[in-house]
Amino acid sequence: MPNPPMDIVIMAGQSNMVGYKTQLSDLAPRWQNPIAHSKIWQDGAWKPLVACGGYQRSGFGPELSFAHQYARSDRPLGIIKLARTGSFMSKHWRADLTDGLFDQLVQQVTEALAAAGAARLAGFLWVQGEADAFEAEAAGEYAASFKVFVERLRARLATPELPVLAAAVNPPREAFAHLDQVLDGLAQPGIENCHMISCEGLSRQRDRLHYDLRGLSRLGRRFSDALDAHQQQSAPGARAPLRQVIHSSADYDCWYEGPQGAQSAYVVTFPYAIVGDGLYEPGFGRSYFTRKEMPAIYIRSRESNWFQTREIFEIMRKIRDFTGAEAKVVTYGASMGAYGALICSGALNAHRVLAIAPQFSIDRSVVAFETRWARAARKIGDFIYSTGPLVSRDAEKIVVYDNLSMDRRQVEMFETDASWSLMPMPFASHQMLRFLHESGALGRLLDGLFDAGPDLAELRNTARSGRRNSAIYWMTMATETAAKFPSVARIALDRALEVGAPRRKIRGLEAALNL
């Protein structure tokens, strides 16, 4: 059997996570030795976890007792720790600060994951808030800042299920008058999978603020017990998936998630275009493939660049090295991602391509009807237009698109042959992915991904019979019929509202279409 993957735990915060004024002489000799099965990220490498080992200027915090308790299960443990004495959420940890502690933490975790091989990102442990409880303004901002901090950390690490364990810090109230606001911020019910860890009864140093050796030891064990309980109570699909980084740079992330060991087939997914930083987007299709426990490789791009970089083909080589030459590969994407799935299929020697509403170009000199993404197009410059040599000849290419929209002209620009199956679906618009989901046809498209593939007739029938349940279908019909048949458009908007379209969108369409 393969060796178990490393469980990686992130530990962050301020002085009580650092371990204020602790030193090696405080510890009994047996606690001064490296801890079995445990490593810590230090100076750009994984090193044995040992007290005062150099991962911070001096001393140690709750990581030692945490690791001793956690290591009883013989699971390999890796700790990434970043803590600063006296640090505020409002001044140092806020996720929107440039080059703040949040950015430093993300960089360390990214580098550590890349060096870890097969690993699971098991949890985030947080001991912070005393500093903010000292100032009224900082305490008042804490709830909003902590929520954004957690959301952005999970997004940047592509782990929406990452357990967060936050210590219910308890400095002396007479000196920290705004503590309740900080505790309310840590205990927000709106942050899913976030749990408070009691600090009651932890012994302190004379300043009544910092935990002493015994207090730190008990805090570490409480963290370990809480994380272990969470893992045991979680449903299999909610547990941290095994992950292995394939490529990481300033512009791209690429990683594998799925069963451990070599697989006979993989799906490689490509992201769609967004406004903003694409490295904060989840892997395309990740929720589905994680739930199905399927071997999947995800690519994220910082910019919406339609993969017009040499680096993307370097990533393809790394993916093929990871999968092995004999494994089947299916590429999958929507819009910009569908274009990527097609042009990268040759380099991956793909078995099948699933392309949802692919965009051949955003260059207005070629596609004058495409009025979006002008800034991205200017930055990209010349597109790759000779796509034929890049698309896998032997792969089955399944392209789903709205033949009544501008997407028809995008699809017609690709060099197609008998290996292409074009699946027109009218009144789905460019939001084809959502239409497929709402109509119940997305599961049909992904059926038999690695085997015979989807039954295209069944896919078409499911989409056709389920379209009445799609808000996208009805809103698109309203848009397309409003000029000539306003009564039909009015009925379509009413139906869209019935099947769950947001009322604000319906009002916006009513105004835009003069209905």
C-beta separation of 237 from 51 below 8 A:
no
Among residues 195, 223, 238, the one where a domain terminates is 238
Q: How many structural domains are present in the chain?
A: 3
Query: Is pLDDT at 53 greater than 90 in this prediction?
Result: no
> What pLDDT sits at residue 25?
86
Taking each helix axis from N to C terminus, what angle separates 136-156 and 179-186, rounded to the nearest 10 degrees? 20
Amino acid at 43: D
* C-alpha distances out from residue 397 to 303, 418, 463, Å: 26, 9, 19
Q: What phi and psi, each to the nearest 5 degrees, are found at residue 213?
A: -55, -45
> What pLDDT, on a 0 to 100 scale, did the predictor assign at position 97?
93
Q: Do residue 454 and residue 487 come from a single domain? A: no
- Determine the residue type at 392: S
Give the C-alpha separation, 127 to 11, whole Å.
8
Amino acid at 393: R
Amino acid at position 262, single letter:
A
Name, in order, each residue with C-beta under 8 angstroms of 231's C-beta and a sequence gap of 6 or more.
Answer: 122, 239
Q: How far apart are CA 401 and CA 411, in angstroms?
A: 8
Res. 1: pLDDT tops 70: no
pLDDT tens digits along 302-338: 999 999 999 999 999 999 999 999 999 999 999 999 9
Do residues 459 and 434 share a domain? yes
**CA 284 and chain centroid, separation:** 9
Does 11 lie in the same domain as 154? yes
Q: Clarify whether residues 328 and 405 are in a common domain.
A: yes
Among the candidates 217, 238, 259, a domain finishes at: 238
Same domain (yes/no): 194, 340 = no
DSSP letter (8 states) at residue 93: I
For residue 400, give Cα distances in angstroms to 326, 349, 367, 386, 409.
28, 21, 19, 21, 13
Over residues 210-269, the pLDDT tens digits come to: 999 999 999 999 999 999 988 888 665 566 789 999 999 999 999 999 999 999 999 999
Whole-angstrom distance, CA of residue 478 vs CA of residue 494 = 10
pLDDT tens digits, one per residue of 349-375: 999 999 999 999 999 989 999 888 989
Q: Are 145 and 280 members of one domain?
A: no
- Which domain covers residue 449, as residue numbers? 243-468
Q: Which amino acid is at 427?
A: F
- The answer to whether residue 461 is domain-embedded is yes
pLDDT digits (tens, 9 = 90+) for 65-98: 999 998 766 789 999 999 999 999 999 999 999 9
Residue written as tokens 């050796």?
Answer: 213
CATH number at residue 63: 3.40.50.1110
Full-model pTM: 0.94
CATH number at residue 410: 3.40.50.1820
Q: Looking at the domain assignment, is residue 248 inside a domain?
A: yes
Residue 219 is assigned to a structural domain of this protein: yes
Contact partners, residue 318, CB within 8 Å, separation at least 6: 246, 247, 254
Beta bridge partners of 125: 11, 165
Tokens representing residue 395 in the block: 């792969």
State phi, psi for 223 to the nearest 5 degrees: -60, -45
Tell me the helices (H) and strands (E) count for the chain, helix number first: 17, 15
Q: Do residues 216 and 249 both lie within one domain?
A: no
24 within domain boundaries: yes
User: Once rounded to an integer, what is the mean pLDDT over residues 417-443?
Assistant: 96
Q: Provide long-range contacts, Cβ within 8 A and 24+ apart, for 308-314.
A: 308/380, 308/381, 308/383, 308/384, 309/251, 311/249, 311/251, 311/252, 312/252, 312/340, 312/344, 313/344, 313/347, 314/247
Locate 328 and state its tokens.
């089947």
**Residue 259 domain-assigned?**
yes
Q: By the 8 A CB rule, do 256 and 295 touch?
A: yes
User: Which tokens belong to 261?
Assistant: 């060991």
Q: What is residue 413's three-state secondary structure?
A: coil
Q: Identify the pLDDT of residue 236.
A: 57
| Assigned domain for 1 exists | no
The percentage of residues in the chain with a pLDDT greater than 70, rounded to a whole number, is: 98
- C-alpha angle 349-353-356 in degrees, rounded to nearest 5: 150
Tell me: pLDDT of 166 over 80. Answer: yes
In DSSP terms, 47 is beta-bridged to 40
Task: State whether 499 and 378 are in the same domain.
Answer: no
Residue 226 CB: number of other CB atoms within 10 A? 18
Query: In this structure, are 209 and 295 located in the same domain?
Result: no
142, part of any domain:
yes
Of the candidate ranges 2-6, 30-34, 476-480, 499-503, the one whose mean pLDDT is the lowest: 2-6
CA distance 239 to 67: 20
Same domain, 81 and 199: yes
Verify that 427 and 352 share a domain, yes or no: yes
The confidence band for 10, taking pLDDT boundaries of 50, 70 and 90, is very high
Identify the residue with better confidence: 51 or 319. 319
Do both 266 and 213 map to the same domain? no
264-299: pLDDT as tens digits: 999 999 999 999 999 999 999 999 999 999 999 999
Res. 170: pLDDT tops 90: yes
Q: Which residues pair with 347 in a beta bridge?
A: none
3-state secondary structure of 322: helix
DSSP letter assigned to residue 112: H
Q: What's the pLDDT score for residue 190?
A: 86
Is 15 inside any structural domain? Answer: yes
Tell me the average pLDDT of the chain: 93
